[in-house]
Amino acid sequence: MILSSRVLGRAGNAGPNSRINIGIVGLGNISRGHRGFCLTQDATQVVALCDVRRQALDKAVAEAKAKGSTACGAYNDYRELCARPDIDAVVVCTPDHWHAAVSIEAMRNGKDVYVEKPMTLTIEEGKAMRAAAGRYGRVLQVGSQQRSNQSFRKAAELVRNGYIGKVHTIVCMLGEFPPATQLPEMPVPEGFDYDRWLGPAPWEPFNPERVLGSFAGGWRCFWEYGSRKNGDWGAHHFDIVQWALGMDESGPEYFVPKGYEGATHQYHSYAKGPKVIRDGDGRKAMIRFIGDEGEVRVSRGDKFETDPAGLKNLLPKPDDVLLYESRDHRMDWINSIRTRQQPICHVGIGHRTATICHLSGIAERLGRPVKWDPAAERILDDPAASRMMDRPRRAGYSLPI
Amino acid sequence: MKFLIPLLILAVQARALETAAVTAVASKFGNPSPEEQYNARVELNRLIDDATAPGKNEHAAVTRALCAVLQNKEIPREARKYILRAMTRVATADAVDCLAAMLNGDDALLKEEARQVLESIHDLKAIAALESALRKAADKREKLPFAGSLAVQRADSAVPLLAALAADPDVETARAGLDALAEISGDPAVAALKQAYAEGKVTPAARVDLERALLVASSGDGQVARELYQTTGSDTVRLAAFTAMMTGGENDAAMIEQAVKSEHAGIRRAALACGIEMKLPSLESGLAHAMEQMPVEDRMVVLANIHHLNSKETAGKIALSRVAADDENERVAAIMALGRIGTQPAFDAVLQALGDRRPPVNQAAASALAGMDYPEAGAALLARLQGDSSEDKILAIKALQFRHVPGANAFLMEIIASDDPAASKEAMKALYFIATLDDLRAMCAKATATADAARRKSLASICSRIASRINTDEARALLKPLD
């Protein structure tokens, strides 16, 4: 095998050890950690930032420049950022209703993508993103970063390998947002491209509460821009449940909203497996797996308990399934960009987890159960629910191919 | 006939009731209180969702009721907006005339909402209305949303209209037409795109969009992918075409051999991964030498795939040659590769890496050891535990924290009692993490039996820590004789 000199970096191409040029779209709360990471790693450099809020954009660009990204570009329109040929990868930190459009635009321009969780706003968007990643040969990591935590991995591994017997119940703590009330119209602040913030979502008058980036509410309360708590925490906990049950290529089949025929809690169930109950048991743990031979409880902060207690330190047996190990979610993405291997929470996984979040949301909004065929990826026997697998997009904001 | 008349009356009554109910809720949107408006929204949605629940089969009746309310001039605009939004999930073809009429109205927001409802009704009548609206649209701003709606509808009948848009000199318009054809993707759309491609019907600025649209629409057609791979001037389309060839049965050896020499890094790396996975002999034979000349990013791709090679020996040699690489990421990739290769030299190298002080390196070694498909690993570790080399012993003890080896814990207990303080310390640490209840029982018995007070204290201490970790009454009871 003979390689050309240009391949070797001797004719103007980037040579060995070149850094990964990153563009970041969306500069709210969640992007801080990503910016901090990308600005401080030897492997990466931030070359472009994008936000529809000029003030936030200017501030972030100034910060990036102060930290050494002296040529960092500033963009209001993510399409201009994605069109830059020198950018290798894009981090998508927008509100959820923009995830799919920005990610696909980046991938069709040859960029790898890290997209915050939940991966999408609708099930059809997930299918489109999965197709785009395959079509354009891109690496996409979804920010369900609990997969890269050792306690969650160990918990999932114990469950997967049957150490607590047959799992019959799983309890996930998601909490609740306040309702998305009607908001009076207020003037759009100077420098805020509100039309682009809304993007594909239905037009509504501006109100600061609507666009507020707050982990306690803000835009996260609105079905138009997110999936409320099912998407917010469900994208983390349901993701671990999928992993633990070995269902990353499939999913549950029946979704029941809280209140339906006296149901005290929202739940979904797998065909041959357990029932996953939302917010069911007095906050013992973020996720509680209950089997007929034991129990595993795991929470953030490496709070990890088992019954029997000895399970916690059990070493896997030779025939056990060993789950993908990542100790740093962002670094795992960087490694995948380099090796062209799938990252720990790739687009297919992110889509299946987001599907659970969305189906739970559809059941909640309709106030009735939803039946799902995970193989065919379609809702059964409910035409109105089926039409909620996607949403119309506002003129000018159709999904790219 | 005498049964039909009462049924018709009942149906009309049901519809009238439905309209009245919707009108009653819709009128609540006139209340200026945001709370009341929010409640009205919830009530409206609940009314519609209940009426269209599975088994009720009332979508058409509900649609007609909603249209009747939409046509009522007394209904507040805000109510119409939310009725239209609800209609995107329930409306049938019965709404098309009403919605088409709204497209001619003056209210831009309601026109846009009506377009979205038409887009959601999967029926030829809705498609016809959208096509008609596209034909009538005066300018680009009005045309493009209808092109998008016809794409969502996957409307084959709209292909000629969209092909005309694709040929528009305005790039944005052409892109909208091309993207819509790509999304529709059936035979007529592919034919239109092929024709545009063959006849150069698009402007140069939209050429890449045409190529991409053709690639997407003809997904799975390896020949189209090959043609685009060979002719496109766009790096991203070329990479996408290459990817499509790999999955479309066009991945022949000659093409991959050529692609690994590509100046396009993405194609080169995809070709390397594919060629190694396909076990191409031509690639395998020169890989060890070529590795020396490759950029580190290419070597990372090779290392991630090298376990696929026919010869585990060759794979192992290549990975071993990178274990001491300058780049830490490459070193880690080499260790992970050795874990997947699973030969004796690979095992030895991974075990050695476990003693590396740098966390990324020893963590990679731990992962590699845990997952290594090397059945002799257990015997190899037991042999080291019984060997003379303290260094080897310590590495083997570390490995036991990540890989289950039956019978190893008994040796660890012996090492604790040995005169090798470093190994003893490491063994105590390992036992703390991996000792079972049976191990604890044996250790407690040993501690109880020992006459040496200092040794007894030391064993009691580790037993106590293990019992605390196991955290059961049975474990705690074992400690009692040591109190």
pLDDT in tens, chain B (483 residues): 555 555 444 444 444 447 899 999 999 999 988 889 999 999 999 999 988 899 888 899 999 999 999 999 999 999 999 999 999 999 999 999 999 999 999 999 999 999 999 999 999 999 999 999 999 998 998 999 999 999 999 999 999 999 999 999 999 999 999 999 999 999 999 999 999 999 998 999 999 999 999 999 998 788 999 999 999 999 999 999 999 998 777 778 999 999 999 999 999 999 999 999 999 998 888 899 999 899 999 999 999 999 999 999 999 999 999 999 999 999 999 999 999 999 999 999 999 999 999 999 999 999 999 999 999 999 999 999 999 999 999 999 999 999 999 999 999 999 998 899 999 999 999 999 899 899 999 999 999 998 888 888 889 999 999 998 888 889 999 999 887
Please enumerate in sequence order all residues whose Cβ is within 8 A of that of B8, keeping only pairs 6 or more positions apart, or say none. Answer: none
CB count within 10 Å of CB B299 equals: 27
Using a CB-CB cut-off of 8 Å, the residues of chain A touching B436 are 310
Q: What is the dihedral of CA B390, B396, B402, B407, to 10 degrees?
A: -120
Residue A171 dihedral angles phi and psi, to the nearest 5°: -115, 125
Which residues of chain B are within 8 Å of residue A20 when distances are taken between CB atoms? none
Question: Is the Cβ of B216 closer than 8 Å to some Cβ of chain A?
Answer: yes
Give B183's contacts in chain A (Cβ within 8 Å).
401
Q: Which residues of chain B neighbour A398 with C-beta distances below 8 Å?
A: 145, 148, 151-152, 176, 179
**Inter-chain contact A4–B470, Cβ cutoff 8 Å?**
no
- Find chain B residues with C-beta within 8 A of A317's C-beta: 404
Of B216, B270, B329, nearest to A338 by CB-CB distance is B329
The C-alpha atoms of residue B428 and residue A401 are separated, in whole angstroms, by 59
Q: What value, to the nearest 5°, has the Cα angle with vertex A93 and ends A285 and A354?
A: 50
A180 within 8 A of A296, measured Cβ to Cβ: no
Residue A115's alpha-carbon distances to A50, A71, A126, B382, in angstroms, are 14, 24, 12, 46
**A 254-313 → B contacts, CB under 8 A:** 308-310, 312-313
Predicted model pTM: 0.93
Q: Are B402 and B366 in contact (CB under 8 A)?
A: yes
Neighbours of B234 (CB within 10 A): 17
Q: Which of B89, B238, B264 to mutate to test the interface with A (most CBs of A within 10 A)?
A: B89
Residue A325 at interface with chain B, using a CB cutoff of 8 Å: yes
| Rounded Cα gap, residues B309 and B331, in angstroms | 20
Subunit contact A43:B363, Cβ cutoff 8 A: no
B327 to chain A, any CB pair closer than 8 A? The answer is: yes
Q: Are A114 and A328 in contact (CB under 8 A)?
A: no
- The 3-state DSSP class for residue A98 equals helix
Asked if B236 is an interface residue toward chain A (Cβ–Cβ < 8 A), one would say: yes
Check if B179 contacts A (Cβ < 8 Å). yes
Q: Do A2 and B290 touch (CB under 8 A)?
A: yes
Strand partners, A142: A115
> Which residues pair with residue A171 across a beta bridge?
A277, A288
Report d(CA B118, CA B129) in Å as an integer: 8
Looking at chain A, which residue has its C-alpha nearest residue B245? A135
- Among A15, A317, A381, the residue with its CB nearest the CB of B54 is A381
Instruction: Name every residue whose Cβ is closer than 8 Å to that of residue A278 and which is 6 or more positions away in sequence.
Output: A171, A172, A173, A174, A230, A234, A258, A265, A266, A267, A360
User: Are B433 and A313 a contacting pair at CB < 8 A?
Assistant: yes
The answer to whether A384 contacts B90, with C-beta atoms less than 8 Å apart, is yes
ipTM above 0.90, yes or no: yes
Sign, Cα dihedral of B156, B161, B163, B165? negative
Distance CA B305, CA B455 (A): 50
Residue A282, pLDDT score = 59
Note whether A319 contacts B: Cβ–Cβ < 8 A.
no
A369 touches chain B (CB under 8 A): no
Cross-chain Cβ contact B120/A395 below 8 Å: no
Number of cross-chain residue pairs from A and B with Cβ atoms under 8 Å apart: 195
Closest chain A residue to the Cα of B218, Cα to Cα: A135
From A182's Cα to the closest Cα of chain B, the distance in A is 5
In angstroms, rounded to a whole number, what is the distance separating the alpha carbons of residues B269 and B277?
Answer: 12
**CB contacts, 8 Å: A381 with chain B:** 54
pLDDT at A13 (0 to 100): 34
Residue A136 with chain B: CB contacts under 8 Å: 236, 239-240, 243
Q: Which residues contact A27 (CB under 8 A, 6 or more apart)?
A: A35, A49, A50, A51, A53, A56, A57, A60, A93
Cβ contact, residue pair B301, A340, below 8 Å: yes
Which DSSP string corresponds to B64-91? HHHHHHHT-TTS-HHHHHHHHHHHHHH-
Chain B residue numbers with beta carbons less than 8 Å from the beta carbon of A110 are 235-236, 239, 266
The whole-angstrom separation of Cα B417 and Cα A19 is 51
Amino acid at B56: K
| Cross-strand partners of A24 | A49, A91
pLDDT for residue A203 is more than 90 = yes
**CA Rg, chain A, in Å?**
22
Q: What does the angle CA A326 – CA A331 – CA A336 come to, to the nearest 5 degrees?
A: 85
DSSP 8-state secondary structure symbol assigned to residue A119: S
**Kind of pairing between the strands at A73-75 and A89-92:** unpaired
**pLDDT, tens only, A36-70:** 999 999 999 999 999 999 999 999 999 999 999 99
Cβ–Cβ contact B158 with A under 8 A: no
Element (H, E) at A115: strand A112-115
* Residue from the list A135, A313, A322 with its beta carbon closest to the beta carbon of B243: A135
What pLDDT does residue B470 have?
A: 83
With 0-12 / 13-18 / 19 or more C-beta atoms within 10 angstroms meaning exposed / middle / buried, residue B345 is middle
**What is the distance in angstroms between the Cα of A55 and the nearest Cα belonging to chain B?**
29
> Is A184's Cβ below 8 Å from some Cβ in B?
yes
Would you state the structure tokens that stand for residue A316, as one six-digit string? 């896997």
Helix ranges, B248-280 (H): 253-259, 265-277
* Number of CB atoms found within 10 A of residue A320's CB: 18
Q: Taking 60 as the threshold, does the pLDDT of residue A205 lie above it? A: yes
**Considering only CB atoms, which chain B residues are within 8 Å of A313?**
433-434, 469
| CATH, range B251-374 | 1.25.10.10
Q: Are A350 and A122 in contact (CB under 8 A)?
A: no
A residues 57-76 lying closer than 8 A (beta carbon) to B: none
pLDDT at B13: 44
Tell me if A322 and B112 make a contact (CB, 8 A cut-off).
no
Which of A91, A115, A135 minimizes the C-alpha distance to A346?
A115
Q: How many CB atoms lie within 10 A of CB A196?
A: 15
| Spatial separation of the C-alpha atoms in residues A28 and A38, rounded to whole Å | 15
Interface of B with A in 431-450 (CB under 8 A): 433-434, 436-437
B467: chain A residues, CB-CB within 8 Å:
none
Residue B365 CB-half CA count within 13 A: 26
**Which one of A7, A134, A341 has the shortest CB-CB distance to B263?**
A7
Q: How far apart are CA A6 and CA A13, in angstroms?
A: 6
Residue of A nearest to B365 (CA): A325
Helix or strand holding residue B466 (H, E): helix B453-470
Q: How distant is the Cα of A157 from the closest Cα of chain B, in angstroms?
A: 13
What distance separates the 2 farthest-apart alpha carbons in chain B?
Answer: 107
What's the mean pLDDT when you consider all of chain A? Answer: 93
By the 8 A CB rule, do B466 and B432 touch? yes
Pick from B261, B279, B260: which is nearest to B271 by CA?
B260
What distance in Å separates the CA atoms of residue A83 and residue B235, rounded to the nearest whole number? 12
Chain A CB within 8 Å of residue B29 CB:
no
